[in-house]
A and B are shown apart, each in its own frame.
Chain A
Amino acid sequence: MLDIGLNHYMVLSALVFALGLLCMVTKRNAIGILIGVELVLNAANINLVAFSRYQTGAGDGHIVAVFIILLAAAEAAIGIAIFMNFYNTLATIDVDRGDELRH
């Protein structure tokens, strides 16, 4: 119980991943979906760092995690720019309303 190992981190990351997925599919607010994506990416990062500590002992996992954080920031910036256009066009942020390609 007190001996923390890889298994503990894997269970934690699986739970965070599932919660992120749940957030992505149950939120109808576009920003809420973006928050769910951030949770999923964080779950992947926890696994990468835990495997680096308990399995490989090399820095590769850390570097991949850095790139994931970078891409998550890029994705959030582009996503919010798209959502602002969405909001300007439809005057709502409810993703269920965005069901047409042209307005």
Chain B
Amino acid sequence: MNSPVEAISFYVFAAVTLGSAVGIVLSKNIVRAATCLLGTLGGVACLYFVLHANLLAAIQLIVYAGGTLILIVFGVMLTSKSPWAQFSPTRGQVAAAVVVAAMLAFSMCSLMLSADWSRPSGSLLESPKVAEVGKMLLTDYLVPFEVASVILLVVMIGAAYLARPEK
């Protein structure tokens, strides 16, 4: 159905994504978690390329890896006396969290795999081109687009107000 290159790249990038996500969960140190987040975001961006979502992959790399991640790293640097400071949850909390997350993952997988989708799993469709997505953004989705710009303005003012130095 699809080329072996696509299959191999899916497995490679899925492994990168999942491996970095496990790294985030396991790392006690917040700087390491932020570095692992770069791997997850990059892996997801590559998966978008595999899915032929080129615009989204570029936005993911620019906004997430370029913007949000830098913001998180600045947050780490500004909010700890020592970047190596760590607080760990108790063993019981970790055990309960692992049980809940495993149950959630299992039930979501079984639910989605048993659901009756309108097309079979492997049926490939023509993916929308960047120009089509751009046109939809400025026609069908114009109101959400404008609301998003207002939200960004509100967030900019709000973040600057919240983070202002004490008088």
Consensus secondary structure, chain A interface: helix
> With A26-B89, A54-B124 known to touch, is A59 a contact of B132 (CB < 8 Å)?
yes
Partner of B126 from the list A10, A29, A57 (CB cut-off 8 Å) is A57
Q: Which of B79-137 contact A (CB under 8 A)?
A: 79-80, 85-89, 93-94, 97-98, 100-102, 104-105, 108-109, 112-113, 117-128, 132-133, 136-137
Task: Determine whether the beta carbon of A63 is less than 8 Å from that of B126.
Answer: no
> With A59-B128, A78-B159 known to touch, is A23 a contact of B68 (CB < 8 Å)?
no
CA distance A39 to B135 in the complex (A): 29
* B25 contacts across to A, CB distance below 8 A: 19, 22-23, 26
Task: Determine whether the beta carbon of A62 is less than 8 Å from that of B53.
Answer: yes
Task: Determine whether the beta carbon of A5 is less than 8 Å from that of B166.
Answer: no
Task: Determine whether the beta carbon of B127 is less than 8 Å from that of A57.
Answer: yes
Q: Which residue of B lies closest to A1 (CB)?
A: B7
* B67 contacts across to A, CB distance below 8 A: 73
Partner of A18 from the list B75, B76, B102 (CB cut-off 8 Å) is B102
Partner of A31 from the list B17, B64, B76, B133 (CB cut-off 8 Å) is B76
Q: Which residue of B lies closest to A20 (CB)?
A: B21
| Per-position 1/0 for A7-32, Cβ under 8 A of B | 11111101111111111011111111
Partner of A81 from the list B18, B93, B162 (CB cut-off 8 Å) is B162
Looking at the assembled complex, report how far the CB atom of B125 sits from the nearest CB atom of chain A, in whole angstroms.
3
| Per-position 1/0 for B51-76, Cβ under 8 A of A | 11101100110011001100110111
Partner of B75 from the list A20, A56, A73, A80 (CB cut-off 8 Å) is A80
Task: Determine whether the beta carbon of A93 is less than 8 Å from that of B80.
Answer: yes
CA distance A10 to B107 in the complex (A): 12
Looking at the assembled complex, report how far the CB atom of A60 sits from the nearest CB atom of chain B, in whole angstroms.
7
B binding-site residues for A, Cβ under 8 Å: 1-2, 4, 6-7, 10, 14, 17-18, 21-22, 24-25, 30, 33-34, 37, 40-41, 44, 47-48, 51-53, 55-56, 59-60, 63-64, 67-68, 71-72, 74-76, 78-80, 85-89, 93-94, 97-98, 100-102, 104-105, 108-109, 112-113, 117-128, 132-133, 136-137, 141, 144, 148, 151-152, 155-156, 158-160, 162-163, 166
9 A-B pairs closest in CB distance: A57-B125, A5-B121, A59-B128, A18-B105, A81-B162, A5-B122, A80-B75, A14-B108, A28-B87
A binding-site residues for B, Cβ under 8 Å: 1-12, 14-23, 25-32, 34-36, 38-39, 42, 45-46, 49-50, 52-60, 62-63, 65-67, 69-74, 76-78, 80-88, 93-94, 96
